[in-house]
């Protein structure tokens, strides 16, 4: 007959099982920092030259946002412009080719993506492989996610951003699409009522951050606050026009440009009623932390590190 374990041995086994639980490791132990650089821009960036003049070196703003993008490239190019978000993609692509060449880029190509098939095409991937950085133009961010999301092009961009010094810039819609969650609908004067703001998954270069652009000019802090109320683990990053941030290691920010950056941090909020009220009713959130940062300021986003691929 098998010998029954006594109560002390049973308790000891239980303790042993409890102790054998894998210890908690910080995310950074398993999730390496991305080696790439993100440069989201709040829109209406100055292009470095006076449109009425022939471009010369004297017209270039040495500290301009677009110049900083070019300077971050290991060999100042090639650059791949992706004007998919724009309704006038041909015009937007040509404009950025001219701008980047005037700012010293070694080479500039344009990749027109008008279908998901094109985003999976070998020709598109080959253009991406040649580039040291990409520029997403403004327009409609939903076009970017609908046409690029889940494609080979999006995956390869994420891989290069994670494992290489690959620079990704985007302005207006091109900046908003970088993050997850992504705002894609909501009037400038809206946001105080539940469900006025629509969000979806962005291109996933920056996790747990909601980027909004034209932030001060269009009074968008309330709509970002609603996103934070729905998930206080998310951080709001509001970019004013002609202002951007250079993001390294997936979370280290440096402000560039002429305006301010607004950080809306809800991780320490004490309460919200967003889950209790009906659609169309105003929401409440208490104890948000808000930071206003000007050029040269640095900030570490209070987000958990995680895999970028």
Q: Is residue 16 part of a domain?
A: no
Confirm if 70 and 104 have CB atoms less than 8 A apart: yes
Segment 59-117, tens digit of pLDDT: 333 348 999 999 999 999 999 999 999 999 999 999 999 999 999 999 999 999 999 99
Cα gap 299→305, rounded to integer Å? 15
In a domain, 35, yes or no: yes
**What total of structural domains would you count in the chain?**
1
Domain at 75, CATH number = 3.40.50.880
The answer, yes or no, to whether residue 7 has pLDDT greater than 80, is no
- Supply the pLDDT for residue 165: 97
Output phi, psi for 77, to 5 deg.
Answer: 135, 175
Tell me the C-alpha distance between 78 and 132, whole Å. 6
Q: Which of 241, 247, 257 is nearest to 209 (CA)?
A: 247
- pTM for this entry: 0.84
54 against 80, higher pLDDT: 80
Residue 47's pLDDT band (cuts 50, 70, 90): low
Enumerate residues 6+ apart whose C-beta is below 8 A from 39.
Answer: 65, 68, 69, 72, 167, 168, 169, 170, 244, 245, 246, 247, 256
Residues 215-220 have a mean pLDDT of 90
Residue 223: inside a domain: yes
* 20 part of a folded domain: no
> Which residues lie closer than 8 Å to 66 by C-beta, 6 or more apart?
45, 47, 48, 99, 100, 103, 169
* Residue of 96, 88, 135, 150 lying closest to 114 (CA atoms): 88
Q: Which domain holds residue 88?
A: 31-300
Question: How confident is the model over 183-197, as pLDDT tens digits?
Answer: 987 665 668 899 999
Residue 304 has a pLDDT of 74
Report, as residue numbers or ranges, the catalytic residues: 172, 214, 241
Q: Where are the beta strands (DSSP E) in 166-288?
A: 167-171, 179-180, 182-185, 198-200, 206-207, 209-212, 235-239, 243-248, 252-257, 261-265, 271-272, 285-286
| First-to-last C-alpha distance (Å) of the chain | 56
Is 113 within the bounds of a domain? yes
| 7 inside domain | no
In a domain, 19, yes or no: no
Query: CA 82 → CA 34, 90, 99, distances in Å?
Result: 22, 10, 14
Give the pLDDT of residue 191.
Answer: 80
pLDDT beyond 70 at 56: no
Is 121 a domain residue?
Answer: yes
Tokens, residue 119 = 């985003």
């Amino acid at each position: 007959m098998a010998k029954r374990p006594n109560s002390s041995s049973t308790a000891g086994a239980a303790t042993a099982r409890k102790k054998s639980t894998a210890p908690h490791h910080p995310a950074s132990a398993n999730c390496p920092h991305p080696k790439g650089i993100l440069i989201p821009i709040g829109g209406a960036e100055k292009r470095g030259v006076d449109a009425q003049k022939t471009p010369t070196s004297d017209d270039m703003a040495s500290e301009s946002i677009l110049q900083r993008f070019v300077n971050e490239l290991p060999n100042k190019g090639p650059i791949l412009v992706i004007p998919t978000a724009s309704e006038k993609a041909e015009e937007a692509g040509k404009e950025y080719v001219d701008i980047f060449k005037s700012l010293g880029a070694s080479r500039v190509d344009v990749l027109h993506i008008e279908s998901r098939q094109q985003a999976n095409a070998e020709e598109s991937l080959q253009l991406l492989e040649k580039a040291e950085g990409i520029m997403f133009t403004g327009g409609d961010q939903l076009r970017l996610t609908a046409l690029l999301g889940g494609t080979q092009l999006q995956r390869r961009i994420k891989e290069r951003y994670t494992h290489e010094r690959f620079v990704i810039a985007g302005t207006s819609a091109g900046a908003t699409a970088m993050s997850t969650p992504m705002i894609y609908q909501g009037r400038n004067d809206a946001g105080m009522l539940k469900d006025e703001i629509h969000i979806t998954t962005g291109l996933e270069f920056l996790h747990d951050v909601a980027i909004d652009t034209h932030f001060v000019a269009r009074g968008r802090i309330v709509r970002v606050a609603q996103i934070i109320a729905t998930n206080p683990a998310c951080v709001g990053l509001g970019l004013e026009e002609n202002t951007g941030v250079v993001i390294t290691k997936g979370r280290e920010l440096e402000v560039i440009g002429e305006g301010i950056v607004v950080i809306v941090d809800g991780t320490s909020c004490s309460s919200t009623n967003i889950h209790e009220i009906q659609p169309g009713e105003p929401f409440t959130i208490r104890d948000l932390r808000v930071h206003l940062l000007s050029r040269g300021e640095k900030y570490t986003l209070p987000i958990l590190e995680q895999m970028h691929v």
